[in-house]
Structures are given as C-alpha cells and as structure tokens.
Amino acid sequence: MNPFFFFLCISSFCIFLVGCSDVARRASSDYSTWSSYAGSADSAQFSSLDQINRSNVSHLEVAWSYSTSDNRRYQFAPLVVDDRAFVLAKGNSIVAIDATSGEEVWTHAPEGKDRALTHRGINYWENPDRSDRRLFYASDHFLRAIDARTGALIADFGDNGRVNLKEGLGRDPDSFSLVQSHSPGRVFENRIILGSATNEGYGSAPGDVRAYDVITGEIVWTFHTIPRPGEFGYDTWPEDAWKTVGGANVWTEFTVDTERGIVYLPVASAKYNFYGADRAGTNLYSNCLVAVDARSGERLWHFQFIHHDIWDYDPATAPKLLTIQRDGKAVDVVAQATKQGFLYVFDRVTGEPIWPIEERPVPQGTEMPRETLWPTQPFPTAPPPFARQSFTVEDLNPHMSPEDHARFYEIVKNARNEGLYTPPGRTDTIQMPGNNGGSNWGGGAVDPRNGSLYIVSKDHPAILKLTPEVDQTAAPPTDPELRAQYLFDVHCYNCHSSALPSNPLAGASLAGIANKLNDAQMRKVIVAGQGPMPGFPSLPESDVDLLVDYLKDPPAVSNSQRHASEQLGSSARFTSGFGLVRASNGLSPIGPPWSTLTAYDLNEGVIKWQIPLGDVPELAAKGITGTGSSMPKVGPVATAGGLIFAGTRDKKVRAFDAGDGSILWEQEVGAALEGIPAVYEVAGRQYVLFCASAQVGLTNDTAETIRGAYVAFALPVE
C-alpha cells in the first residue's frame, strides 16, 4: 500500500454502501435539468437530453440573446430552474431571465465594493414542497441568500441576509485581505459547502472548508485543511503551522456523491506557492483529493498529488464521478485531472487507485536556503497524460518574431530544465506545464453511461525565478516617490513586473496601461480587483493615488532590491512572479497546439482521441488554423445526443462528435467565450446556453471592447 494513502477501516464505509445501485442505469434520468453549478452536484457537466444530436446539430440556430449591458468580462456558468435562467450581467448583478425568450424578469444588484461577486457561478436550493427557493452567492467576503422567485434578499439568513466568511477561521478576521472564492460551493441536502480563495502570499488565510445551514447561515461543520493538534496530518507540518501558514484551500469546484453523502475536495497548494522553508514536510491536506462525509465533515480518505508543493500545482478541476467496467465488474470511481497533465483515478469509496501510482524520484538540489525538497512524487502508470510535460528549444513557437525566437532560445537553453518537478531557485527554471497550464476550473466533463471523460487543457510553460521578498516588517517609506515604488513592489511586482521594461519574462503587462484606463478606472481595479486579480480594499486612498501616479510613469528599473531582505537568515522570504511567459505578439513561446480537448475511455485507461480546441483569430486570419485557442477558460458539456459543446476565445461555439472529436457544427458569436454552458429543456424544446463575454485579442493593441451576451441555441421550431 502506498505510504501516502490513509484509509479508515472498511466498516466505517458501510453506511455509504446502502443504495449503491447501478449508477450507469440512473444516468439517463438524473441529468435532465441544470439547476446546479455545472449541471449537477457530481460535476458531470453532462445532460441526458438528446433532442439535439449528431443527426441534427448542424441545424442549430440562435433562439435568443441577452446583452450583459456592460463591457465587463464574465466567465459565468448559468443556472436554469424551470423556465428561468440565472446569469451574471449589468455590473455584476444577478439577473433572472426567461429561459425561452431572454426577457429580463428581475435584477439583484449585490452589496459590496464594486459588487465583487462570485463570478463563476452561484448555487440554488429549494425545500421539498418548493415553497422556499434560494440562490446563494458571495460578495465582498459575505455569503448571501436571495429569493429565487423575486431576487429579494432573505433577511433572516445569517445577520440580516449575510454571513461573514472571514469569521470562524481561528485568526483575526481583519488580517485577511482575501477569503472569498470566485467559484460557488455545492449544495447538499440543507447545507451549502464553501471553499475560499486565499491570497498567494505569506500570511494568507487558512483554507478551511465549511458547511453552512441554508436556512440560518450557521456553520454546521469545518474541515481544517491545515490540521490542528490532535487531527490527522498535523505531523506533516512544522509545529503550530496552522496558526501562521495559509492556503491549502478549495478555490475551485467541489463534487458531491449524493447517493453516499460524500463530498470530494480538490485542495490547493499551501502558501507561499513557490518557497516552502516555513512549512517543512508533506503538508497535508494541500494538493490533495480528500473524501469527506458531507453531513459531518469527517475525513474518509485522501490522496496527495504533490508532496510539499513548490510549483503551485494545485488540482483545479472538479473531481469527476463515473462508473467504469473493470474485470467484468462495475466500479464507481472518482477521477482527478491536474495542472501537471496527469489524470488520477480512484475507487470512489476506498480511495484505492484503479491503476498503480508509483512514487518516483524527482530532481533534487536547491539553491534556496532552508528549503526541504521531497525526494519523490506520485506518477500514475495509467491513464496517459493529457498535456505536454517538457519544453526545450526544440519546442519553440514558429509563429514568433525572429527577435522573440532568439530571445527565448537563449532563455530556455540556459535555464534549469530537468522536466517535471524541477525545483525553482534564484536562476531561471522551466516549468512545463506551467502553473496556469494543464486542466483548470470547469475543464472536465463525463458521460457517466459509458466511462468516457473529456478534458480541456492548455499547454503553456512558465519560467520561475525566486527573489528576496520586499521587507514588509519595516515601516514603509514616507517620501511619496519611494512609497509609490514600495507599494508597487509589495502589491504588484510579482504579477505585473512587465510594467518595467527591464523584465522580459513577466506576463500580465501594465506597460501603457494609462493609455487604456483613466484614473478612476485604475483606482477601481486596484481596490476591487478584476478577473483573477484580487483587489486591495484596505489600501488607504492616498496610497491608491500614489499607485495610479506610479503606473502612469514607471521607472526603467525596479528598486525592489532596495526594499528586499538582504540577510538570507532564518526570517528571509522569497517570492516569484507566476512566471507565465508570452512573446511580444501575445503568443506562448511553446509551439502549438496551445489548447486541446482530450477524450478518455476510463474502462481501459486510454486516450480515445485528442484534438486542438479552437484557433487564434490573429493566426486564423493568415490561414493558420488547428493551433488551439490561447489560454482558454472554458468548460465542455457532454450530452446523450453524442455531442460535446464548448466555446473558445476565438468567438466560436462548437459541437464535437463525442465518438471521434470531429466538428459537427460551429458558429461565431459576438465575443470570446468563457465559463460552462448550460443544457436544458423547456416546454419540450432543448437549448444550449453560452456565456460570450470575454475579451478577444492577444495583446492590448489587438484587444477588442467586450460586447457581452448570453446566447441560447436551439433547433428550429417546426
């Protein structure tokens, strides 16, 4: 038995064996609605509706369209209950619309700064007689409940309609800059189970998973992802690490086996992401799949994908539940896709791997002080990886300029590059897939009837390099010029250092940002955040003004080292940009395909087919296709009609043949697509609803203004 498996004795699972009938038999009737995030509590992203199928999908037409009424980016997964769809639009408001016509029914504008709402999805609950129907969302770090019929706030939920998510974590609530996740939780019976999105730095909030009562808002149970004294896994951390170390959070999607009452937690990495000197050990339950009793919060089993993660390789995709055939028997399994391109498959009840998982030696040797690398990592022997796991000069993108090609050739040739799990250090380190590669949120769908699993993934490398952290223990400078530099170094440098021309590797460029956003818009983004970027609501207004002025005219060279810790002693900390790298034309330095759709047969543990997903408009205009879309954030949906629906950032929606991946239908819409489509039926007519509200363009120069809309397709009415 693998030493990193821990199981309860088999008798403790007996309660879950009741009602374990043929899951495949139930699939044809269980997936006909779309009232849960991604369609169902088990995260299948599957619909049993088959009115739209291989024979007629080419006839799909726009049934209705609803404008978001703003130019914001939305990556939302709509819900549909009865004849009503719930979407995000109109300045981050929740909007109920008629699911057959797109006509607006009501709008709920959340409270909070800039309405910083859970923007990937919301949750729905109803009582048995349907007299109480609620929508749940998080905004400004509060969980809120509204009436699904009217959009009115439910005042007797929590404290006047809201629950403070910063409370109950065992630390000072005012010390957390970020707790709320962009992803919704899961509703199970009368509980809503929530994760969090702690910040990426030192001293972030702990990633406790909590279940709240849907009526009162009271906490029902808490699962400590960083164990406390007396809890299993406490000895995998330094003593009392739970008091100071953060992260190990579920920022992404939960999956619930409603028959057994098990919730599966894909737990993210501990913080800081790339340097773990203050957290020696394997660090349970970071980077784990944890099976938890959904009624009590008790751990049932777990598996750790990364021991002592220093690569930010958190499992970001929802665990997927299937029934497969093994040795003539039906086996209920849970499958977890990862950023590093692996797919792990386990018995859903016991946690035993379906195929052997081997602990193999990984690169050692680190120039980082006090870092303790783990000598092995778990490699699944099957199924095969869905993403590329190496990046050398032979893989450079042929669609870069000669100058970019020469520059990246030198960078890649001279970087430390020993394959997966090369430890980052103070020199350039290649990471492939990068920490924003592989499979991410919304990226998987299954056909629970036949053991098929579909994964959207992106091949994108990163280059990591650690530098001493800005010393935040000393008093900040009072001189305005020095203070502005300090504020940038502390809050912005890691992700946005390409605002400084001297940094050729960083992504998310801020160069010329003042030409695109006015002062008020920049202040708004700094305070409230935008997309994946967290806001800094606690910054004094005077500091926000200094940052805005700084971004209008940044210096040619960063002064980070002036504020950095020069002593590499016991208190020194190191940070790194996320390391995502792009060429000057916005493309990845690795050659295509940049995104793929992979189909697995998990009965055999093999890949059935793999195709590039989408195109890059700038290249397609030149006749270069089949590259895959750049950096997709989309989820596929499989249907009983033998189809897979997915949108991409090339402004196109497509239907693929689930049998071989061939494109059976595609249509352009007005904006790039992100999020997970909804498949539903009203009055005998089947619809597929997409969120088309993301920006097209690889660079700021080619970016288009977002003209977002929700677009529903259906077959023509005869």
* Strand ranges in 41-141 using DSSP code E only, listed in sequence order: 46-47, 61-67, 79-81, 84-89, 93-98, 104-108, 123-126, 133-139
Answer with the one of 564, 593, 619 that is the final residue of a domain: 564
Name the domain count of the chain: 2
pLDDT digits (tens, 9 = 90+) for 143-190: 999 999 999 999 999 999 999 999 999 888 888 777 888 899 999 999
Helices (H), 1-67: 14-17, 23-30
Same domain, 236 and 307: yes
Q: Which residues pair with 162 in a beta bridge?
A: 144
The reply to whether 539 falls in a domain is yes
Regarding whether 209 and 171 lie in a shared domain, the answer is yes
DSSP-assigned states of every residue in 627-692: S--SS--B--EEETTSEEEEE-TTSEEEEEETTT--EEEEEE-SSB--B--EEEEETTEEEEEEEE
Please measure the distance between the N-terminal and C-terminal CA atoms of the chain and give it in whole angstroms.
Answer: 60
Task: Check if the beta carbon of residue 273 is closer than 8 Å to that of residue 198.
Answer: no
Could you tell me if 694 and 669 lie in one domain? yes
Phi and psi dihedrals of 557, rounded to 5? Answer: -130, 135
| 634 found inside a domain | yes
Q: Is residue 573 part of a domain?
A: no
What are 398-431's pLDDT values in tens digits?
999 999 999 999 999 999 999 999 999 988 999 9
pLDDT at 473 over 60: no
Instruction: Report yes or no on 572 lying in a domain.
Output: no
* 590-626 tens-digit pLDDT: 999 999 999 999 999 999 999 999 999 999 999 999 9
Q: What is the CATH number of the domain that holds 670?
A: 2.140.10.10
Average pLDDT on 487-499 reads: 64
- Could you tell me the strand order of the sheet in which 162-164 lies? 123-126, 133-139, 142-147, 162-164
Q: Are residues 477 and 460 in the same domain?
A: no
Domain-located, residue 570: no
Which whole number is the average pLDDT over 457-480? 77
Final residue in a domain of this structure, among 532, 564, 596: 564
Average pLDDT over residues 495-511: 48
Q: Indicate whether 383 belongs to any domain.
A: yes
Does residue 575 lie in a domain region? Answer: no
* Residue 96 shares a structural domain with residue 205: yes
Q: Are residues 143 and 273 in the same domain?
A: yes
Cα 633 to chain center, whole Å? 9
Give the torsion sign (CA, 460, 463, 468, 470): negative
pTM of the model: 0.87
pLDDT score, position 23: 37
Residue 467 has pLDDT above 70, yes or no: yes
Q: Which residue from 68, 133, 201 is spatially nearest to 674, judged by alpha carbons?
A: 68
Q: Shortest CA distance to 45 belongs to which of 333, 453, 347? A: 453
User: Is pLDDT of 133 > 50?
Assistant: yes
Are residues 228 and 162 part of one domain? yes
Domain with 554 in it: 470-564
Task: Verify that 476 and 540 share a domain, yes or no.
Answer: yes
Backbone torsions φ then ψ of 205, nearest 5 degrees: -70, 155
Vertex 515, ends 514 and 519: CA angle to 5°?
40
Task: Assign 561 a pLDDT band (cuts: 50, 70, 90).
Answer: very low
Residues 364 and 505 in one domain: no
pLDDT at 665: 98
At 541, which CATH number? 1.10.760.10
Return the biggest CA–CA distance within the chain: 76
**395, 480: one domain:** no
Is residue 361 domain-shared with residue 447, that is, in the same domain? yes
Are residue 251 and residue 298 in the same domain, yes or no? yes
In a domain, 244, yes or no: yes
